[in-house]
Amino acid sequence: MDTLSLLPSILVVDDMLGPRESLRILLKYDFHVHCASSVDEGIEILKDVNPELIVLDINMPGKNGLDGLKAIRDIDRNVAIVMLTGYGCLETAQKAMRLGANDYINKPFDTNEMQQLVKRSVEYTRLARRRELAKKKMEQLNQRLEIEISSTKGMAELGQMSAEFVHDLRSPLTGIHGFVSLISHEIQQTEKLQGDQLDLTKEYLTFIEKEINRCYELSAMWQDLNDKKRRSSDEFSISELIYDLVAGINAAQQNNNIKVEFDLDVDEIAIIADKVQISRALNNILNNAVQSFTDADGTIQVSCKISGDDVEIDITDSGCGIEQEKLDQIFQPYFTTKEVSKGTGLGLYIVKKTIENHSGAILVKSVPNGGTTFNIRIPLAARQLKAV
């Protein structure tokens, strides 16, 4: 494979040979540099190579840099554009920023400053494209779900399954919404993505992608159930799964001052199970814990440890609690203590069914106005392999 094809691409558009060659020589070891002497030539290259950065001179004969900027933004709204400006062109450079340029630098430029600007701009483009891809995946997911729900008669006939399906999707989408809000906040607070702010934004995008993938997995799971396909179990880290779920809840509750704290006894705790089913069960309990707080403040404690041949998971909230006479009914389908518009009564029914299907057990203790604790035990992978 050509080594250049693995490097990020940069397009330099300048009618003067000197600046073009200076940038090509400066950047050629870290980037695949394409050069154009006019806006029209640059547009043609843009369509072919999809660069991560365009360095565009403002003052050129014919179509100038501002004309080129408008044309580029019609083709690609995410690629970073840095304007090259001469002495006395500050006002024009500022106009370029208003028209969609990401930054500008004066000629003659400092080589170290240019290298840092280029690296930062390339990262900006990659981040923007990941965000765009996440948005497209969400749109594709919505289309897929609409097609499945409208075309599958079996789902309509299985009323309870249909309701569970909708219930499952609500949780990961809440996580997606939380991380999107965090990204929007980061972008509003800083005009230039750099340093730890960029790292944090990239971390949010990673969680968004995980939540989107979880939506796809849930959709596939329900399709398999509807088609009566037997789903397989795999070995995975239950501690890592809980860590991701806790991160999603914390992001979704950023404005409510509700925080989930996770205490892990061992870094890696492996079980053999249907990961999607276990994920939905634990997420249901976490969401119930969040909803147990009557105000917007609270802490949820989650612990995960090895207990004999089992993994033991405790999820404890200090919320409103459950009355004793209702405690025996919480695992029944369609029983809910919430308002009619805020709960289907399926969450804990799904949890109990899932845990028991994996040879596990679930217990609950609760005190009205004193909080609730769910204790879950699932066989470790080693125990299950011994039984085979």
Domain range list for the chain: 3-109, 126-231, 232-388
Fold (CATH) for 232-388: Heat Shock Protein 90 (3.30.565)
Closest CA to 114 of 196, 33, 42: 33
Closest CA to 377 of 297, 323, 330, 315: 315
Contact 149, 142 (CB under 8 A): no
Query: Looking at the domain that runs over 3-109, which CATH code has it been given?
Result: 3.40.50.2300
**Residue indicated by tokens 């690609």:** 76
Between residues 146 and 83, the one the model is more confident about = 83
d(CA 152, CA 171): 23
The DSSP call for residue 237 is E
What does the pLDDT look like over 250-295, one tens digit per residue?
A: 877 766 778 889 888 777 899 999 888 898 889 889 988 988 887 7
* AA identity, residue 365: K
| Residue-level pLDDT at 249 | 84
Between residues 372 and 221, the one the model is more confident about = 372
Angle, CA 351 vertex, CA 348 and CA 354 arms, to 5° = 150
| Residue-level pLDDT at 65 | 92
pLDDT at 86 over 50: yes
| Residue-level pLDDT at 135 | 73
| Residue-level pLDDT at 1 | 43
| Residue-level pLDDT at 100 | 87
Between residues 222 and 237, the one the model is more confident about = 237
**Residue indicated by tokens 């996770």:** 262
pLDDT at 149 over 60: no
Where helices occur in the chain by DSSP H, the ranges are: 17-27, 39-49, 65-75, 90-98, 111-151, 153-157, 159-189, 195-226, 238-252, 275-291, 324-327, 347-357, 381-387
| Residue-level pLDDT at 3 | 47
pLDDT at 226 over 60: no
| Residue-level pLDDT at 234 | 87
Percent above pLDDT 90 for the chain = 36
